[in-house]
Amino acid sequence: MSIAIIGVTKFAKRLESQLNNKNVESLFISELLRDIDFKKLKSYSIIHFMWSPTLSIRGFLTLIRLKLMHKKIIVSWIGSDVLFANTSLLSKLITKISQGMIDANLTDSENLKKELNQIGIKAKLQRLPIFRFFKINEIPNQKRVSVYLPDEYKHNWSFYQGDIIKKLVKSFPDVEFIIVPNTGKNFSEKNVKCIKWTDNMEEIYSQVMATIRLPRHDGLSNTIMEVLSMGRNMITSPVEFPFCKIVHNYNDAKNHLEEVIKNPSLNLEGSEYVHKKFDNNKFTEEILSIYNNLLMK
């Protein structure tokens, strides 16, 4: 068995590491379809996509080439790819006609599974072994929160509801907002610290009372898992996940932040839940079973 992984770098590398720990030959190839070196793929029996390639003509042509190479293909749908497949007519069409080339569709959350089913894709609910967990760390005395608000692309501001974040920053001048990954081009406020990129989120979570992340559409967020694992409060847009403070509008966000600042406390139930329920070793074994079943067909 040999696995080539293509897609979102941080997820792909975590899966690669878990597979290598099980002595399974695996290699992260690339994040972008245009960067695929097909020569590297010759010796790999299964191609695992961490983000669906069915959303573009390039992806469709990539799948054709892989099937001509007699590869088994797995697609793990992670969130925004499901949104694109449901809202873009071109992506929806390509996704539907590509299904004959895909050997297994996986997704990590019930809501994504339901959305895929709406466009005729039967996906298996399967967690990926990509979660990072942190030990419970006491709440700091400083009024400080972290915010997930990437600004690499123009649409990120709308997708992660930057207008609500901006309003919170102005409404809570005595609270420090650490915003990642963000260049700071949309913030000049003195109570904002923007960090372009860091892989040490544990250090940031240890400095804050809560984390805010407000995507308009989501799957099973790694950010939620990490934040809860440390016993921090998670302020987020509607998700099917317990122990989070749910935001539908600015007033919800404002009220939740006021509560966290006024009564800082550890989210012990949330921490216990993710530590007990999400086991990377168990998920790795389940993924290996899926690989083995495909190779037997």
Question: What DSSP string describes 218-244?
Answer: -SS-HHHHHHHHTT-EEEESS-S-SS-
- E-strand stretches of the chain: 2-7, 25-30, 46-50, 72-77, 104-107, 124-125, 144-148, 176-180, 192-194, 210-213, 233-236, 245-246
Residues 260 and 166 in one domain: yes
Q: What would the pLDDT profile of 12-27 be if each residue is shown by its tens digit?
A: 999 999 999 999 999 9
Residue 136 domain-assigned? no
pLDDT band at 62 (very low <50, low <70, confident <90, very high): very high
Residues 151 and 74 in one domain: no
Number of domains the chain is built from: 2
Query: Which residues on neighbouring strands pair with residue 148, listed in sequence order?
Result: 180
Residues 160 and 75 in one domain: no
Q: What would the pLDDT profile of 35-56 be if each residue is shown by its tens digit?
A: 999 999 999 999 999 999 999 9
Residues 46 and 69 in one domain: yes
Q: Of the given ranges (69-73, 177-181, 240-244), which has the lowest mean pLDDT?
A: 240-244
CA angle 153-118-288, nearest 5°? Answer: 75
pLDDT band at 253 (very low <50, low <70, confident <90, very high): very high
Range of the domain at 64: 2-130+279-296
Buried b (16+ CB within 10 A) or exposed e, 264-285: bebbeebbebbbeebebeebbe
Report the CATH number that the domain containing residue 125 is assigned in CATH. Answer: 3.40.50.2000
Residues 77 and 152 in one domain: no
Residue 102 scores a pLDDT above 90? yes
pLDDT of residue 199: 85
